[in-house]
Amino acid sequence: MTPFRDLSLWRQFGAVVLCALLAMALVPSFGSDFVIAFGFQFVTWIGLALSWSLFSGNSGYASFGHGVFFGIGVYATAAVLRHTDAPFAVALVVAGLVAAALALVVGIAVFSSPRFAGDLFGMITLAMAFIVVAVVSNLAFLDGGTGVFVRELAADTWIGESTGHQFVVGTAIAAATAGVAIATSTTRWGAALRSIRDDEAVAESLGVPTYRYKVLTFAASAGLAGLAGAPQAVFLGYVEVGAVFTLNIPLLVIMMTILGGITRWWGPLIGAASVVLVREALLDIGSPELSQIILGLALVVVIALMPHGISGAIPRRRPTATGTTTGTTTATTATTGGAR
């Protein structure tokens, strides 16, 4: 795979791993309970924003179902811990797989029919959200209307032992999601996804198998959201439908992505970090309504001033006259690309 010979790709992977390891080493050991809990939510939102934009940001098909995939991850984890003796790691894998499987089915159904192309995709994901909430509320196996006490179920496990451990898992998942986002920023897969957003018909004519890319990436995006739901189940302690499946999640994630911008992989990361920090800062004013209004106005101002979001407003490195910065990577990709 040619793009993986690209040094800047490895540098970015390295930077993410380094940051994640530093956070895992420092936050749980030195942070107060409040800082650790805040840190957990911080990394969870970063993971959610990055996984949403993996599909929706890149392909342009806005999904309102991201909260469902996250919630399914939460409930799958609760169910595994409640009904089996399996360790948390198993629950984590199940959470990712169940969310990915649901997206796979929805994706195949929606993208097979040209009638559902474009804006209707968003409507369908919204409909899916309502159906899933109804199903989860009524299945005693999952919830049945009473909620699930995960805290007791996870009490004797490593993950349930401390919020610090939940933070470590959450950070690892966010870092993995960032890794996928970095990969899409430079690989042929990522370029193909973005070509769908800009002009799907032309992408087809260039031989991009748009259907396959849409279905598989939607599933991957949902799977990563499901993974993020697993530690969330333990963190919440008590899981109930009203709190887990809120429409707030897709809306906030969309807002984070628009704010951060989608022309660079780290746009949604910056957007998520900004929104979480601003929301936290606005808690002091004591009025949730007022803080929502301020946040909304801030978004409008940012879009007006920076149409490509925060990340898009930062100038790109330009190659010099001799092409030293990007010329080399371009040449590498080109020559090996031709040799394949």
| Residues contributing to the site for other proteins (CB under 8 A) | 188, 191-192, 194-195, 197-199, 201-210, 262-263, 316-319, 321, 323, 326-327, 330-331, 333-338, 340
Q: How far is the CB of 116 from other proteins (least distance, A)?
A: 18
How many whole angstroms separate alpha carbon 17 and alpha carbon 2?
Answer: 22
Q: CB of 152 within 8 A of CB of 159?
A: no
Q: Please return the burial class of 332, using the count of CB atoms within 10 Å of its CB with bins 0-12, 13-18 and 19+.
A: middle
- Of 172, 191, 174, 173, the closest CA to residue 183 belongs to 191
Residue 288 or residue 323: which is nearer to other proteins going by CB? 323
Cα distances (Å, whole numbers) of residue 123 to 100, 198, 244: 19, 21, 20
Which single residue is written with the structure tokens 């970063």?
46
Shortest Å, Cβ 147 to other proteins: 43
What's the closest the beta carbon of residue 274 comes to other proteins, in angstroms? 21
Q: Which is nearer to other proteins, 98 or 302 (CB)?
A: 302
Residue 183 Cβ vs other proteins, minimum distance, rounded to whole Å: 14
- Comparing CB distances to other proteins, the nearer of 95 and 270 is 270
Q: Which two tokens stand for residue 314?
A: 């930062």
* C-alpha separations of 246 from 103, 151, 250, 256, 327 in Å: 18, 21, 8, 16, 47
Q: Tell the smallest beta-carbon distance from residue 87 to other proteins (Å).
A: 42
- In whole angstroms, the minimum distance from the beta carbon of 118 to other proteins comes to 16
How far is 57 from 17, CA to CA, in rounded Å? 23
